[in-house]
Structure 1
Amino acid sequence: MPRPLGSVRARTTVGATAVVAAALAAAGLIVVSLLKANLAGHADLRAEMTAREAAAKLASGTPWNRLNLDDAEERPVQIVDAYGHVRAVSEDLDAVSGAGGPPTAHGPSPATVLAAENDGDDLDEEDPRPGRVSEEVRHATGRATVDGRTADYRFAVLEATTPAGETVTISAGASLATSRDAVATVGRAMLVGLPLLLAVAAGVTWLVTRRALRPVAAIRGELVEITASGDLTRRVPVPGSRDEVAELAGTTNQTLAALERAVTRQRGFVADAAHELRTPIASLRTQLEVAAVHPRLLDVTELTYDVVRLQDLAADLLLLARLDAGEPPASPEPVDLADLVRDELRRRPTGTRALAFEADVADAPSVPGSRVRLARVLANLLDNAERHAATRIRVALGARDGATVLRVADDGAGVPPDDRERIFERFVRLDEARSRDDGGAGLGLAITHDLVRAHGGEITVRDAPEGGAQFEVRLPTA
């Protein structure tokens, strides 16, 4: 399958290549600038050495006709007196321009003119001492014509005084041809090498990115197969690189495991719900079929009981479905648990057994949530306590460690330690026969657990001082 231009690999390659290109271009400009400056400095040094050599000879008294000013093509030299007349030039030097001196002429030979373009620095107005060379040197870029060929030179201009007291200006140049050839060569090499380096950078980035993304492709392929097969027991491969891709694979496997648990729980829930619904529906059908044949045998009380049981079970299943979907309370509000406990105990009818209720509901902080759902929590805990208590049920309410604590204890048989986590699972009955006789489906404590968790609290069970079970609910205060 071809990769689109918008893929991660393509974008990474283009971005890396652009960065490398910018870095190489900046580095190339810096190298060329430094090279030009360095070569210009060398040219200035050569021109100054030539000028000082000629000036030293004049200052030492060397006659004009004995000055050795050869090699005009590489280092042309011109000497001009204070009146602008050319006193001496290198052999075959025809003209100089832009060297920083006044226009000059050379006697009977073709005039060698210095069309000076001063670079802004004037020479010292005071004449040097007789037989001395000026320390001040001025550098300028100009052109010189040697043997009919004009080229660019870097000139050094200084003054000297002969032993006879005559002040002259010496202009000596150094050819820039070699420097410019070197800069041009470096530039051409960069123009040739830059595309090659960019191609190498792009290729390496492409290959490295492909290798780095290979585990991602494997993860994607495995997820496609898992989705197609529906087998949530499979897991994606985890690379051994211990990088972000490995963390992604680990997180994906954790997500698959959580999804597998959720699906397994949902399937079990559906199966248990269907099993629980089957009993009251079958009972209703049997009673109705009998009533159709023998109307006098119809037991309306039993029929009503089965209908109510079926209605309660449907309501519990619907509530659990809403809690599983993460439905928050419709209108969270501060709930006074002390008032809620008093109301629940007042309206609770007296059962067939004589049970004593003890209530210790000191004023406690309000809790945020739904009054209806918190009332369901309390009712489920009291129903469970009535189902298992022998003679007495105790309800206590208080505050501890910044939380509101509700305790419901009975003096029954209690809950074995191994079952204290399992009783909050759905459709779990520790006393199967008694629960069915009482109409319980094993959903009361599961609903209570989910309601408490939905309110940001927690519920635990332990041994009660009375010898039975004590359920403790901790809820955050308002």
Structure 2
Amino acid sequence: MASRCGAFRPYSLRARTTLGIAALALVFLTAIGAGINFLVFNRVQAQIFDEAERVAVNWGGSLRPGGTPQPAPKGDIDLLQLVDSRGRVVAASPAAAGRPALSTVRPPADDRIQDFTECSGRDECVMLAAFRVFQPETSGTRPDEPLFVYAGVTQPPILTGYRLQLLTAAGVLLGVALTAWVNWRLAGKHLRPVGVIREHLSDITVSDLSLRVPQPSGCGEHALLVHTINQTLARLEEAVKLQRRFAATTSHELKTPLTGLRTQLEEAMLYPHDVDPRETIREALSATGRLEAIVDDLLVLARLRSGTPVAHEPIDLGALVAQEAAARTGGVPVHVHAGRDVHVRGNRIQLIRVLNNLLANARRHARTVIEVTAEHVDGQAVVTVTDDGDGIAPQDRERVFERFVRLDDGRRREPGGSGLGLAISRDIAHAHQGTLLIEDTPRGARFALRLPLHREAAVRADPPPDPGDTGDPRDSGAPRDAGRRLGHAERI
């Protein structure tokens, strides 16, 4: 993708931000330019009219009976004329001499001064101030005849045509171009680390996930992004390692029974008279059963690891423990001590599988008895399964929960096991926001399953003390031994 894309990509973040900011700059600068244009036009026009009014009033005020003073232009106001009521020019400045009356506008008596712009047929416009003068008698005029003083200047080029608007538009376009260029450079500078991250990520493949993106200094967005990417790569690398190890172990575990099955069948085909067909079929069925158990457990593990949602319901865990323990008849006896109000929310089938796996594991290693308890402790439902066997060494207490890991004693006691039962049990516990651990015990091994209590059960888990309760198990009708065992379980 990078090889086919140039520096300017219309849909890139850099291009989109530049175009967006340029559009905003165009809107704002256009509004500002229009405001400046309006202010400049009004300012220049107001200055000209103010000066023209001052000159007209000064000249009109200098008129005296019997003579007309010569106008003296001041500043930019060079067009001065004194016009009578019949439109005759009585006096004029050098710039207005020889010209007809500058305007035919006659200010009324109640509004003696007026400002306006007069345009002639020669496309020439003048800005004028007209002042009405009452002069008793001047040279060439009648005593009762009003006079009009016109003072002005040719309209300056900045107010003529569209020159001011064009200059403003040019300034707006220049400002937009400058803003877009600055944003393009800044965006490129800030997005350059993203390109570096992309280049490093393109070098990371499934065959080598050990590479990492160099971590920038500071706590900016790029540094946080790189930190998250490296964490994701680390998790991905660990997951790939686990998958590869799982695939290798699975192939080994499946290859052993398949090889034995193939050997038995080939032997039956090659030596039909020396092999008992019934014995061969029986052994083949045994190997097939082991293969089926391994495949089923692998499917359960895959569903648990994929996070596939399953239906949860309120479950009386104490009753479920008693029910599953009672279903196992024969062999080592199982003593169950299940408390009341041990309710959880979970999947019944999965929790039954955990209990069966723990009971089966305890039965393989127990010598005389298996102790099972179910109670609520500190807002959690706790199920313990304890056997009186040889126990599990501390260094092996986590290994037994790995897939296909079976200790030597377990292989000797049950050669056909899949080695996935405890791994599945722990995954089910985690899927229920719980834990499954091996705890210390004076003898044998104790597996402790801890699950969150159901919300309603948690409220009932710690009822107010009964004033008539002496704390003696005999008062509640429970066996004394059961009270001691439950008390021991709470101290674990």
Q: Which TM-score bucket, shorter chain as reference?
A: 0.7 to 0.9
Q: What do the CA deviations read for 1:405-425 (whole angstroms, capped 9, x no partner)?
A: 433334445555555444332
The 8 Å contact of residues 411 and 464 in structure 1, kept in 2 or not, is answered as no
Work out the CA distance in 1 between the residues paired with 2:161 and 2:394: 88
Q: 1:311 aligns with which of 292, 296, 308?
A: 292
- What's the C-alpha RMSD, in Å, of the aligned pairs? 4.0
Q: What corresponds to 1:339 in structure 2?
A: 319
2:227 and 2:134 mapped to 1: Cα distance? 85
CA distance in structure 2 between the aligned counterparts of 1:246 and 1:15, rounded to whole angstroms: 26
Change (3 A) 1:317 1:54: same
Match of 1:349 among 329, 332, 335: 329
Aligned-pair distance for 1:84?
A: 6.8
The structure 1 residue matched to 2:411, chosen from 425, 435, 445, is 435
Pick the aligned partner of 2:247 from 264, 270, 273.
270
1:225 and 2:203 are equivalent in the alignment: yes
Structure 1 alignment gaps of length 5 or more = 96-108, 125-135
Pair 1:151 & 2:149 matched: no
Write the distance in 1 (CA, Å) between the matches of 2:216 and 2:349.
Answer: 51
Give the counterpart letter for 1:152 in structure 2. Answer: V
1:444 to 413, 421, 426: 421
What is the TM-score of this pair, normalised by structure 1?
0.76
- Name which of structure 1's ranges 311-320 and 261-270 shifts more when overlaid on structure 2: 311-320
- Paired with 2:102 and 2:156, the residues of 1 have a C-alpha distance of 25
CA distance in 2, matches of 1:185, 1:344: 97
* Residue 295 of structure 1 pairs with residue 262 of structure 2: no
Identity fraction in percent: 33
Deviations along 1:161-189, whole A, 9 cap, x unmatched?
87999795654433252363699665554
Partner of 2:115: 140
The superposition leaves residues 210-250 of structure 1 with CA deviations (integer Å, 9 ceiling, x where unpaired) of 333333333333333324x7321122344447543333333
**For the Cα contact (< 8 Å) 2:257–2:291, is it kept in 1?**
yes
Do the aligned residues in 1 keep the contact of 2:368 with 2:388 (CA within 8 Å)?
Answer: yes
Where 2:417 maps in the other structure, the secondary structure is: coil
Residues 1:208 and 2:156 are matched in the alignment: no
Match of 2:458 in 1: none
Question: In 2, are the aligned partners of 1:13 and 1:205 still within 8 Å (CA)?
Answer: yes
Structure 1 CA distance for aligned equivalents of residues 261 and 188 of structure 2? 66
Correspondence 1:373-452 to 2 at 5 A: 373-399=350-376, 403-429=380-406, 431-438=407-414, 439-452=416-429
Relative distance call for 1:174 and 1:385 in structure 2 (3 A) is farther
Distance 1:219 1:166, change over 3 A: same
Asked if structure 1 preserves the Cα contact closer than 8 Å seen for 2:257 and 2:287, the reply is yes
Q: Using the alignment, how far apart are the partners of 1:117 and 1:350 within structure 2?
A: 130
User: Contact conserved, 1:157 with 1:171, CA < 8 A, in 2?
Assistant: yes
> Is 1:74 the equivalent of 2:97?
no
Q: Which ranges of structure 2 fall in alignment gaps of 5 or more residues?
A: 456-492
Matched, 1:44 2:37: no
Q: 1:33 aligns with which of 10, 25, 38?
A: 38
- On the 8 A contact 1:79/1:168 being kept in 2, the answer is no
**Equivalent residue of 2:373, what SS?**
strand
Cα offsets for 1:15-46 (capped at 9, x unmatched): 33333333333332222111111112211220
Instruction: Tell me the CA shift for residue 262 of structure 1.
Output: 1.1
The answer to whether the Cα contact below 8 Å between 2:380 and 2:450 also exists between their aligned partners in 1 is no
Question: Structure 1: which amino acid aligns with 2:77?
Answer: E
Aligned pair in 2 of structure 1 residues 247, 137: CA closer, same or farther (>3 Å)?
farther
1:64–1:88: 8 Å Cα contact kept in structure 2?
no
CA contact (8 A) 1:54 1:170 kept: no
Give the length in aligned residue pairs: 440
Task: Work out the CA distance in 2 between the residues paired with 1:346 and 1:48.
Answer: 117
How far the C-alpha of 1:390 sits from its partner, in A, is: 4.4
